[in-house]
Amino acid sequence: MRLALDTNRYTDFRRGQADVVAVLEQASEILIPFAAAAELRVGFMGGNRRSENEKAFAAFLRQPGVSILYPTEQTLSTYAHVYHQLREQGTPIPTNDMWIAAAAIEHALPLYSRDSHFDHLPQIKRI
């Protein structure tokens, strides 16, 4: 299974949460939307273990089948659709999460996240 990995599930993985580790071990491809990767790096910068966290993330990205998912022209269009859908529904979500949603939708990836606000986007399959 291919999946898009959100920031909070990467954090759970690093903490050794057994169910998260099991899901990631079963994945054939783990794609981290650029906004999630940026959120992680922001967290590393503000933490006490910046160097350790950066090294661990770099090692994670070197694993076969793991990569950062960068935006394309289609991502920009999908982001705009997500933005307007959420606005019309009256269910806004954080900007970075709209980018994460756009990447998951564009690439038809199930999203592995704890954030319930992604439930406002029924076009995203959730793990």
CA distance 89 to 26: 35
Q: Is 31 inside any structural domain?
A: yes
Residue 96 lies in a domain: yes
Specify the DSSP class assigned to residue 15: T
Write the pLDDT tens digit of every residue in 25-38. 999 999 999 999 99
| pLDDT at 47 exceeding the cut of 90 | no
For the record, the structure tokens of 31 come out as: 């794609």
Residue 80 falls within a domain, yes or no? yes
Confidence (pTM): 0.94
pLDDT range class, residue 74, cuts 50, 70, 90: very high
List beta partners, residue 30. 3, 66
Evaluate whether residue 126 is within a structural domain: no
Q: What is the CATH number of the domain that holds 83?
A: 3.40.50.1010
Percentage above 90 pLDDT, the chain? 98
Q: Is residue 127 part of a domain?
A: no
Q: Are 61 and 67 in contact (CB under 8 A)?
A: yes
Across the beta sheet with 29-33, what order do the strands follow?
66-69, 29-33, 2-5, 111-112
Distance CA 27, CA 34 (A): 19
Domain membership of residue 113 (yes or no) is yes
- How many domains in the chain? 1
